[in-house]
Structure formats: C-alpha cells, structure tokens
Amino acid sequence: MQRLFSFLTGFSLFMSTAGSTPLFAQTGSASAGATFQNPLPVEFGDPYVLRDKHGKYYMYGTGGAKNGFAAYSSDDLVHWQSEGQVYYASNANGWSDSTAAWDGAYWAPEVYEYKDRYYMFYSAQWKHNPTRELENFRIGVAVADRPTGPFTDLNNKPVFDPGYPVIDANVLFDKDGKIYLYYSRCCYKHPVESEVATWAKQQGWYDSIEESWVYGVALQPDFSGVIGEPVLQLRPPVKMDDKQAEWESRSVTSKEVNRRWTEGSVAFRKGDTYYMMYSSNYFGGRNYAVGYATAKSPLGPYTKAANNPVLEKNEEKGGTVTGTGHNSITWSPDGKEMLCVYHARTTGTGDQRVVFIDRMKIGKNGKLTVEGPTTTPQAVPGKKR
C-alpha cells in the first residue's frame, strides 16, 4: 500500500523537473488519433473521478495513503499526476480508529463540488466501539477549499449511526435540490435466508450466507445528518431461478466465501429515469462484477436490468482481466462520451487492484452498456475513434 505505482508493462514513467510524478497511459501523441491503454498505472481500489468547475479531473480511491486518502489530477483522463495525501485521519475532527482492523479501513472516498467547496464522503472504522465489533464501519464527510485538500471532517462523528456497519457512500444531488446518500450495509453479522443459502448448506459448504444490501436516505443540506429512515434499494436475489441469481451468487457457488455482496453503488439521473450501478461478489476475488437497476424516483423501487452484468471478468473469453468492480462515472473533456471508471486485476498486476477507464453508453431504449474491460489501445476520451 505504500508504493503508489507499479512499473507495468506497456507504460512509461517520467519524472518532471519539478520533482512530481506524472503518469502516462498513452500510446500515441497528444494529437488527434492518440490512444491510451488499460490498466492505468494507478494502484487504487474503488476509484472515483471528480471533474471540477474548471474542467480538471481528480481521482480518489482506496489505497496509496496511510490513515487517509491520496489523489491524482489530470486534464485529459490519460496523464495522471500524484497530488499526494489529501485527507489525514488525524485531522482536528477525526472520528475514526486507525488502529482497528484493516488499518482503520479508509475506503471508497468520493468527492463532490458543492457551493464552492469540496466534500469527501468515505467509510472508516469508528472509534466508538463498546462491543468491540471487528467491522465497525461508518460513513464520514470531510470538507476542503480545494480538491487536493487538506480535508477536515465536518464533525467529530460519522454522518449517522444506523446501528450496523456501513461502507461505500455515494451521493446524488437531484434537480429539485434534494440530496440523497446511498450506502451498503455490510455482510457482517447479517445472515439472510434464501434458496442460495439453503443450497450452500445442503452442499455442506456453509451454515449460513451473509449479505450486504444497498440503502438510500435523504441527507440534510449541510450534511450534518440524514432525514427520515433509510430505504432498502437493492439486495441479492432470494430465488435461484431469478435471472440475477447466477452472477450475483458466484462467490458462494464457486465456494469462495459465505457472503453475497451488493455494494459500490453509484446513482445518477438521465431524463426521467434514475440509474443505480452496483457491484456484486467478493471484492478480493475473480468474480467481482457490475450490474445496474432503474427507478422513477431516487429512493426506488429499483428494478434490476435484464442485461446484467454489464461489466465482468474476461479471462474465460481469452482475456487477462478479473475482479472488475466498484465503478464511478465521468465524462470526456468534450462532454460527449460517458465513461466508466473502475478497478480490476490482470494476470500482470496479480492481486493488486488497478484503475481502468472504458466507455459506456445508454441507448435510446434506456439500456446501459459498458465497452469493457479492455486492455488494447483505444482512442483518448473525446478524440475520434
């Protein structure tokens, strides 16, 4: 985790005269027709890309910093430069426990520009832990005047306490001015009855199957808390004949682990339809994959898409990529191309999660597709293909 960059085959690493480290994933010149190639030389899990009001891109993610979060910046989504650590858990209002399991579990930061300031939502281990839970994750929010920080927690406590561990915060700013927080209730101590659980027990594999579910709740305008009670948005299928059950249960059916995840949600609106992308299966395994669901209101009910999963491993098709998941969404510099930013692994990177960027589309019929995972040269975002 200390080493930010891998010297990956096919990439070049250049040192600037100022001593900073720009990272290149480009295989052509900067002119029209230039290409780039996945994976990017950035060792992040759960990557999130912010495009600020000046058109500059900033990437945040899990890893690359001790007791906090690091960031990178780019003008074109291809050349990335390290901005160093931008959030430290030891800030004046820090509420987390850096000595807890997973080194405090500083995971999945997302940064939003709002009223000329920058707000980072993230998850970490809460130091208030009277029952000594192994997974005591909560969601916090920190603020800065610049996208590169330093970020300081708004309060010396999490945004709210639902009474169970939560991760993977995602925020939707709706056009009516309301703000919604989405998150994943962890699998921890959450066994759920289902036909998949019954099947796994009959195999003699697991006594129970724990699940994580995605919830949504309205946020206070100043992010000081939530409004009302959380509403269940997405969960794994109960029935084995559900069309989503096969791909969402692979971590169990491959005997990888006794958990089924629904996490890493990202919500956005297109026209009158709300889309929620989400990740299923074990984030540390080969079967991590992405699907989506749609609704007519921000808090659902959401209906999962028939063409799920829209992003998954390609090794069974002769590729080298596994563990595709926890994505965010951004747009090309010219605003014409929608892009999926996610982490994955390759045969070359091993267990290390690295960042991919691939194009995605929503057709006239509302069908969402992701053109990935790719590892061959493709046109730079916003350039002719």
Placement of tokens 């990202």 in the chain: 266
pLDDT of residue 24: 56
Residue 360's contacts (CB-CB under 8 Å, 6 or more residues apart) are 310, 329, 338, 339, 340, 368, 369, 370, 371
Alpha-carbon distance 264 to 352, whole Å?
A: 18
* Residues with pLDDT less than 50, the chain: 1-20, 28-31
The label of the residue with tokens 């992040």 reads 44
pLDDT digits (tens, 9 = 90+) for 153-166: 999 999 999 999 99
- pTM higher than the cut 0.85: yes
Contact 336, 380 (CB under 8 A): no
Supply the pLDDT for residue 18.
Answer: 33
| CB neighbour class for 54 (10 Å; exposed up to 12, middle 13-18, buried from 19) | exposed
pLDDT at 7: 28
Question: What is the distance between the alpha carbons of residues 284 and 106, in angstroms, rounded to a whole number?
Answer: 16
Q: Which pLDDT belongs to residue 3?
A: 32
Q: What angle do CA 131, 227, 221 make, to 5 degrees?
A: 115
The rounded distance, in Å, linking the Cα atoms of 28 and 276 is 35
- What pLDDT is recorded for position 5? 32
Q: Check residue 10 and give its pLDDT.
A: 33
What pLDDT is attached to residue 383?
Answer: 76
**Amino acid 263: pLDDT:** 98
Report the CATH fold assignment for 12-379: Tachylectin-2; Chain A (2.115.10)
Burial of 229 (0-12, 13-18, 19+ CB in 10 A): exposed
Per-residue confidence (pLDDT) for residue 23, from 0 to 100: 66
pLDDT in tens, 366-380: 999 999 999 999 999
Q: How confident is the model at residue 246, as a pLDDT?
A: 98
